[in-house]
Chain A
Amino acid sequence: MILLKTGFNDGFARHVKPVYMYGASVVFILVTIALVIATFYTLYIKKKKNSFKKSIGHTLEEWITEVIINESSVGVAVPENLEKLFKKPQARQLVIDELVRNKSSFLGSVSENIINLYYQLGLNVDSRIKLDDSRTHIQCQGIHELCVMEQKDQLQKVYRFTNSINKDVRIEAQTAVIQWYGFKGLRFLDVVSFPITEFQQLKLLELLRQLPFTNFSNFNKWLTSTNDTVVSFALKLAEHYNQVQVHKEAEQCLQHKNEAVRVQAVKTLAKIGDSKTAHLLTLAYEKEKFTNKLNILKELPKIAGDNQRDFLIVQLHEGHEYLKLAAAKVLAKCTSEGMEILEAKSYDTPVPYKDIFLHLKSEAER
């Protein structure tokens, strides 16, 4: 053993002396203690906050519900114990949170009363101040509150945020504009240069769905936007609201360089199109990769007919098994004698067509 032969007194220990290690350990211990103290302090603060919430939560809830279900909440007196409380920012925030949460569930008089109460307590000012906060999540919160409480007079300020560099602020602002002005609010799409995420698109579509449909102003502009997410979103709108007049533009989107746009274009065209559109989709099919190929086959049943039979029979023999199954599905569903063709095929070439045939048969029976 090497170690036995050498009598080390050089090297390592000269540079890293025990005393350094002890020193570092002491520092670690001190920091650890500080962290433990901080932990318990945080725990204490959280508990205090929580018990504060709990202690006033019930009274507050009773009072709020009492006020908002009454015919008229104008000039409602604030109970003495609450009045003092409302000077505390935490309590005010708590009230805002409660009102905001409740507001989004109700319409009619309850909803009006909630807004009245929000005014009466001067909480709109609290929300407005948040817009100028430097922390983006506070800004978001402010926009959200103003949005739910229908503070439309803040449009100008909020509108500027629709193209904010911060994603979250942008999302809240776009939501607010739509919430207030419905389909007209969509004009931010004309100028928005940042991407609108899929999630945000879902959210906006959901908001719009709750509003009476008017019409779209700038569809062509959106469908040719350089912002791919705007194109995608516009295609979704066209799909949802069955905007047949944009068929041409949507067709062009089949050539879009972004796959996500092409996928959505197929969905939109399957909704707004007719049997001629089905032909277009089969043409696009050849140039597509697996994802959109499958997508096309999944969408085709909405518009396909006997004219697509030859195309589908070809697809039955080509490519991935998923594509074969999907093609067989369209064949069975949309073409006359589709099922018979598949049955014949299942005798002819049992693997894989027998299983495919049985699968479709069993699906049709369910």
Chain B
Amino acid sequence: MKILIAEDDSLILKTIELCLKRDGFEIICCMDGLDAMEKIEQLNPDLIIVDIMLPYFSGLEIVGKVKQNKNPVPIIVISAMGQQTVVDEAMKLGADEYISKPFNIAALTAHIKRLTSMEEVVA
């Protein structure tokens, strides 16, 4: 199970990475939107976690682009301040779940498990 995480703060990225690795996921890390877009194309992750505010491409754009390419991969959006309008926008563009900072890692893993098991059922 490959998970791509795009988050511009290295420490936060690292923390999420380690937590998820501990749960047995394979992790791809990206620090900016451009990198994320490229890696999504190349590495075909099974799930994507993106921060809304990223350099070069915002999280919203990534969601929009991925969904427009008819890529069925589930996406979890992390919003820095969980402002409803932004989240709504992300969901409208096709994000599957959102989580707002500050968040509990346990909640994130729960979302991941739910979304990825759904994937398997569909497949």
| Cβ of B71 under 8 Å from chain A | no
Interface residue count on the A side (C-beta < 8 Å): 22
| Cβ of B24 under 8 Å from chain A | no
| Cβ of A104 under 8 Å from chain B | yes
Bound Cα distance from A107 to B100, whole angstroms = 10
In the bound complex, residues from chain A placing their C-beta under 8 Å from that of B22 are 69
A66-B102 contact given A61-B10, A206-B81, CB 8 Å threshold: no
Q: Which residues of A contact B (CB under 8 A)?
A: 61-62, 64-66, 68-69, 98, 101-111, 206, 209-210
In the bound complex, residues from chain B placing their C-beta under 8 Å from that of A106 are 12, 15, 101-105
- How many Å from the CB of A350 to the closest CB on chain B? 37
CB pair A65 B104 closer than 8 Å: no
In the bound complex, residues from chain B placing their C-beta under 8 Å from that of A107 are 102-104
CB pair A98 B11 closer than 8 Å: yes
State the majority secondary structure of interface residues on B. Answer: helix
- How many Å from the CB of A54 to the closest CB on chain B? 12
Pairs of residues from A and B, 4 with the lowest C-beta to C-beta distance, nearest first: A108-B104, A107-B104, A65-B14, A105-B101
A64-B19 contact given A107-B102, A110-B105, A111-B102, CB 8 Å threshold: no
- How many Å from the CB of B48 to the closest CB on chain A? 18
In the bound complex, residues from chain A placing their C-beta under 8 Å from that of B11 are 61, 64-65, 98, 101-102
Task: Specify the chain B residue showing the minimal Cβ separation from A110.
Answer: B105
A109-B15 contact given A69-B22, A101-B9, A210-B82, CB 8 Å threshold: no
Bound Cα distance from A343 to B113, whole angstroms = 55
Partner of B103, one of A62, A98, A105: A105
Output the residue of B15, B18, B81, B105 with the most chain A CB within 10 A.
B15
| Cβ of B106 under 8 Å from chain A | yes
Bound Cα distance from A315 to B104, whole angstroms = 52
Chain B residues 1 to 59 lying within 8 A of chain A, measured CB to CB, are: 9-12, 14-15, 18-19, 22
